Amino acid sequence: MIPDCPCPGHPRRRALLQRSVSGLLSEIRISINSECFTDHYTVIPGKELGRGKFAVVRKCVEKCTGQEYAAKFMRKRRKGQDCRMEIIHEIAVLELATASPKVVGLHEVYEMASEMVLVLEFAAGGEIFNQCVSHREDEAFTEEDVKRLMKQILEGVAFLHQNNIVHLDLKPQNILLTSSSPLGDIKIVDFGLSRRVCNHHELREIMGTPEYVAPEVLNYEPISTATDMWSIGVLAYVMLTGISPFLGEDKQETFLNISQLNVSYNEEELQQLDRTALSFIQTLLCKQPQDRATAEQCLRHPWLQSSNSQEIQTEEEILPLEDQVASSTTSSPECPSTTSTPEETEKGPMTEELIVMAAYTLGQCRQSSTSEKEALAIEQKAISKRFKFEEPFSALQEIPGEFIY
């Protein structure tokens, strides 16, 4: 259910009232620095942290403190149009989410003639995609790992939804880890496609990543907080099995699978899980948005209530997330806020990053695995259901903000 629009007099909601018809926020509190970015930060030479169609992310160090950050350089003009307001919207969403430790932090903003730079929290654990496709037991997520991380994802998404914000691009690439060993906490990133929603205004957009988009997006029906919940259902399936549930041989087959809800619950990987895990996914992969569980309801689901007490802990703990949801669950101690690495660089201008990462990771696994015919055949069968998308959703190519972090 989409939350009501906030009352005009409510101070906590004031920033949400400044919006355009397209659901963009336009009011920010942070001061935009017009000085030269490199006067204050040293950009680390070498490999980029991430690259999208209109932005590039580079690691940098603040000169006065020595603190590491991720600098997101974003072009203000895209396809001949002024897209500064889209960047302002992303800044506003990050400001709004400051109270949630599950969302990447915004440190500073710089503006130059042709681009703006968002100085973001940097971390060391990388995106969760790497663990999703790993065949090595010491790297792949256990079911208990997925439970702990899914709780955190839901806490972050619940916070966004309570503030009338939908992410619209939840996928393994946009969920980072504060550390990989020991397994840290999650950070939700990339709000370039996010929008503000309310009951008094219908929002219809064709945006998202093909394998994760909800049926209503493909049908150009109103978007709501339930649109994110579909993506979380796909994300849970991927995290638990390493398999993309709706992936077809081409885009058309993928979209048809989504529209017709062609998803298998008989995969061997699913049969090895707690039966409540299957129930959790099924409460989200419902064609009708109103039939999907909310983030708060998911946090109360039996699967997430049955966590093993022996969860991964680290030497330090951060303060727990404030109770943003209607009913809180018993959470494991938080891991330290060491920081994480964003997505891998795209291999081509029109290539989906998710696929490049999958091909690279799975290729490594094949080389290191047994050469026996039977094992190879089984692995190739599994790979055929994994991430092989070669092009992004064509309609998305016109949408500003299609980039990493």
Q: Which residues are catalytically annotated?
A: 169
- ∠ CA(297), CA(175), CA(279), 5° rounding? 35
- Side-chain half-sphere exposure of 66, counting CA atoms within 13 A: 0
Given a contact cutoff of 8 angstroms between Cβ atoms, the answer to whether 284 and 236 are in contact is yes
Determine the Cα–Cα distance for residues 48 and 28; give it in Å rounded to an integer: 28
Of the candidates 171, 189, 31, the one whose C-alpha atom is nearest the C-alpha of residue 107 is 31
Angle in degrees, 0-180, between the axes of helices 275-282 and 225-241, rounded to the nearest 10? 150
Determine the Cα–Cα distance for residues 236 and 291; give it in Å rounded to an integer: 18
Determine the Cα–Cα distance for residues 74 and 57; give it in Å rounded to an integer: 9
- Residues contacting 405, CB < 8 A, separation 6+: 49, 50, 55, 57, 70, 72, 104, 120, 189, 190, 342, 343
Given a contact cutoff of 8 angstroms between Cβ atoms, the answer to whether 278 and 265 are in contact is yes
79 labelled as ligand-binding? no
Q: How many helices (H) and strands (E) does the chain have?
A: 14, 14
Angle in degrees, 0-180, between the axes of helices 353-368 and 373-383, rounded to the nearest 10? 170
Among left, alpha and beta (phi > 0; psi -120 to 50; other), residue 23 is left
- Amino acid sitting at position 212: Y
- Which residue positions form the known binding site? 72
Annotated binding site for ATP: 72
